[in-house]
Structure 1
């Protein structure tokens, strides 16, 4: 048995789960609770029943996609649990979750808000740019926090022994 530990499987699972969970926060809080925007609200304002239904459909597609990401990340985490060469580090895993959420915000903010213009964070604001920039800034903060936690956990060595116990 080798003594070399590999953190990348735990980080990969955490990043995918973090991106999915970050998508859920966006969809639940911004789409449903606050009702600031929908997936297509800049292109198709939900001001008629048909437009609202089309937006609701695409919000559902979005939720299905982030659910699949989260489920795949959870499956990856389950597989990591069977590996004895992966150190179990709360800092590494939490950092990966934050990194994934930050990646979601930055990618979604650049592509959907800026490049494609599908929607903005606060669709009904007079000036949408500050809201979009705050969303991107929060994403960058999550990225930096996640990266810092992953770096802080790089020396964590709590790996599982063959009997399934923690050392």
Structure 2
């Protein structure tokens, strides 16, 4: 049986994308590149005390990303157990990209532009171009790519009924 994806299934993919987008940001920019921390424009991490404060703010940021990810997984599993239509891999990937791009756009506008908590590249010096590239490619670009992927593949397959499934 083929039908369109339900809004709840779409919601799960979008929320998962938001959470995973937060993890990518935190892991890549905070932990691997050391380009910024959550409050590095306010409290530059140049002393041990400032680094500890920034690490604590990063911890709260990662906790929020974790909650979004767990919520998305919970909704996805709940939808599957209810027998909701399962989106194709292409649609689901598109939804993840839309969520990831939405995270980048929201976080970039609020934290980088409005509040000035940090920028994509704070140290050794702030370079505004990084913020604009992040918003354009990482925000709008991912949303557009995800939208194109999800819109091109509107057919989904019906999952097996609960009684038809095998659990191992």
Q: Tell whether the structures are fold-level matches, with TM greater than 0.5.
A: yes
The DSSP-based 3-state class of the residue aligned with 1:36 is coil
Q: Distance in 1 between the 2:51 and 2:124 partners?
A: 19
Q: Is the 8 A contact 1:95 1:146 kept in 2?
A: yes
Query: CA offsets, 1:32-78, max 9 Å, x none?
Result: 11000000000000111111100000000000110010001000010
Match of 1:37 in 2: 36
- The answer to whether the 8 Å contact 2:38/2:58 transfers is yes
Residue 149 in structure 1 maps to residue 159 in structure 2: no
User: Contact 1:5–1:87 at 8 Å: present in 2 too?
Assistant: no
Does structure 1 retain, via aligned residues, the 8 Å contact 2:5–2:156? Answer: no
Unaligned runs of 5+ in 1: none
Q: 2:71 maps to what in 1?
A: 72
- Alpha-carbon deviations, 1:101-130, whole Å to 9, x = none? 000000000000000000000002545210
- What is residue 15 of structure 2 aligned with on the other side? 16
The structure-2 alpha-carbon separation of the partners of 1:143 and 1:125, relative to structure 1 and needing over 3 Å to count, comes to farther
Residue 113 in structure 1 maps to residue 112 in structure 2: yes
**Inter-CA distance 38–97: structure 2 relative to 1 (3 Å threshold):** same
SS at match of 1:46: coil
User: Residue in 2 aligned with 1:95?
Assistant: 94
1:6 is displaced (CA, Å) by 4.0
Aligned residues: 163
**CA–CA distance in 1 between the matches of 2:160 and 2:89?**
18
Conserved 8 A contact 1:18-1:98: yes
| TM-score under structure 2 length normalisation | 0.90
Q: Unaligned 5+ residue runs, structure 2? A: none
Runs of 4 or more above 3 Å deviation: 3-6
Instruction: Determine the C-alpha separation between the residues in 2 that align with 1:84 and 1:5.
Output: 13
Please say if residues 9 and 86 of structure 1, whose CA atoms lie closer than 8 Å, have aligned partners that are also in contact: no
TM-score, normalisation: structure 1: 0.90
Tell me the CA shift for residue 80 of structure 1: 1.5
Aligned to 2:132: 133
C-alpha separation in 1, matches of 2:37 and 2:126 = 17
- Over the aligned positions, Cα root-mean-square deviation in angstroms equals 1.8
